[in-house]
Amino acid sequence: MTYLFQIFNGIGIGMLYFLLAVGLSVIFGLLQFVNFAHGAFYLLGAYFTYDLVERGYSFWVAMPLAAIMVMALAALTEIVLLRRIYKLPHTFHILVTVGLALIIQEMTIIVWGPLGGNVPPPEGLNGVIIVGDFIYPEYRLFVIAFTAVLAVGLWWVLEGTRIGAIVRAGSESSENTALLGYNTLRINSAVFGLGAGLAGLAGALAAPIRGVEPFMGLEALGIAFVVVVIGGMGSYTGALLAGILVGVTQSVMASLWPEGARLMIYLGMALVIVAMPRGLLGRA
């Protein structure tokens, strides 16, 4: 019975991982850009939420606002800095985004201090659901439902709309979008902003679960990479599947062999790449 709970809990963790990773995946798919600053946008999303809630705003205002602020900031960064380096080798993508992540992390410490803080779950969601032996926080349940709705919405945007078609065309080659007569530059900024904004949203949603501290971005980055690589870079459904897989592995391993949980995840990641180079659902 415990395993059933662990699997359910794992899906809960996994949905958050999906949200965190899908932005990275989309950015990679469209821009062929390795973004080591993705975790830093997650960090910012969490801290913006923290700051707004501390100022007395409701979580329901703070959460979307934080995501939008991160999105705007990321789009601005793209316009000012990142679009200058797309054409450079990956080495420089790494250098710039590692630098960016360091700057954001240290700025966080300067502005909010090194200690970190707590974001209480919103009113009405701070209780627990009890089903027999199983207890689950209402807020986590909300996160699962919310991300599920969001996942469907995103899927619809990417698969069913013109924007999605452009993004998908662009991920095959940027000349495609240009051929379609769209402004590639503007689309790039929008997609980068959207991807980072999703990381920011993941941070905002995670804040009441994990609290905030200046180094939460590093852990998030590691998980996002694992999910993207297992799921396949640029693959939306891949990120969803892999996010849930990683979450469930982590949760079930907590019962089986806790100290080996991370080992299994990275071993799994290596195995997937070796056996299925494009990831589980990556495009060839």
Partner 1 sequence: MKTINNPIFHFFLAALTVVCLPLFLRSGVLASEILIFGLAVAACNLLLGFTGLLSFGQGIFFGVGSYVAGILLTRYQIPVPLMLLLSVVLGALIAVAVGWLSIRRQGVYFVMLTLAFSQFFFFLAYSFSGLTGGDNGILDVPRPVIAGFDFTNLWSYYWFVAVIFLAVFALMLRTTQSTFGRTLSAIRENEARASAVGFPVRAFKIAAFAISGAVTALAGALHAMLIGVAPLSSIEYHTSEIILIMTIIGGSGNLFASLLGAGTYMLLADVLSTIWPRWLLLLGVALIVVALFMQRGLWGLIETLVSHITATSKRTPNAATERPLHRQADGGKA
Partner 2 sequence: MINRRRLLQSGAIAGASLLLPGLAGRAFSASEAITVGIPVPISGPFAANGKFASLGGILAAEEASREFGRQVKTLDLDTEGKPATAVRKVQDAFDNNGIKLYAGGILSSESLAMGKEALRRNGVFITTAGADEITGTDCNAATFRWSVPTYGAIEQTVRPLVDMLPDAKRWYTITPQYVFGDGLLNVAKDIFKEKGIEHVGNSYHSLTEKEFSGYLTNAIAARPDVLLILNFGSQSSDTLRQAVSFGLKNRMTILVAWASGLEQFEALGPDICEGVYFGAQYWHGVDTPGNQALVKSVRERFDLTPNYSLAGSYILTKLLVDAAVKAGSIDGDKVAAELRGKTYEGLTGEETIRAQDNQVIKDYYLLKGKAKKDMADKDDFAEIVSQGKSFLSPEDAGCKMG
Q: Is 225 in the site for partner 1 (CB under 8 A)?
A: yes
Minimum CB distance to partner 1 smaller for 193 or for 232: 232
Q: Token match 């982590």: residue?
A: 250
* 187-216 positions binding partner 1, by CB under 8 A: none
Work out the angle at residue 234's Cα, subtended by the Cα atoms of residues 227 and 16, and round it to the nearest 5 degrees.
35
DSSP run (H or E) holding 128: strand 128-131
Q: Does 153 bind partner 2 (CB under 8 A)?
A: no
| 95 is a site residue for partner 1 (CB under 8 A) | yes
Kindly state the DSSP code that residue 85 receives in the 8-state scheme. T
Nearer to partner 2, 161 or 255 (CB): 255
Q: What is the DSSP letter of 212?
A: B
Identified binder of partner 1 from the candidate list 79, 85, 141, 165, rule CB under 8 A: 85
Q: Which does 66 bind (CB under 5 to 8 A by kind): partner 1, partner 2, none?
A: none
DSSP 13-44: HHHHHHHHHHHHHHHHHHH----TTHHHHHHH
How far, in Å, CA of 162 to CA of 157, rounded? 8
Q: How many residues are present in the chain?
A: 284
Angle of CA points 117, 118, 123, to nearest 5°: 155
In the complex, the smallest distance separating the C-beta of residue 136 from partner 1, rounded to whole angstroms, is: 29
Residues 219-278 that bind partner 2 (CB under 8 A): 219, 250-255, 258-259, 261-262
Closer Cβ to partner 2, 188 or 250, answer by number? 250
Which residue matches tokens 């980055």? 221
Which partner from the list partner 2, partner 1, none does 152 bind, CB cut-off 5 to 8 Å by kind? none
137: left (phi over 0), alpha (psi -120 to 50) or beta: beta
Instruction: Spell out the residues 6+ positions from residue 24 whose beta carbon is closer than 8 angstroms to its own.
Output: 35, 38, 195, 199, 224, 225, 228
Rounded to a whole number of angstroms, the minimum distance from the CB of residue 189 to partner 2 is 32
Binding footprint of partner 1 on the chain (CB under 8 A): 28, 32, 34, 81, 84-85, 88-92, 94-96, 98-103, 105-107, 109-110, 222, 225-226, 228-229, 233, 259-260, 262-263, 266-267, 269-270, 273-274, 277
Binding footprint of partner 2 on the chain (CB under 8 A): 1-2, 5-6, 9-10, 12-13, 109, 113-118, 120-121, 126-128, 130, 133-137, 139-140, 208-211, 213-216, 219, 250-255, 258-259, 261-262
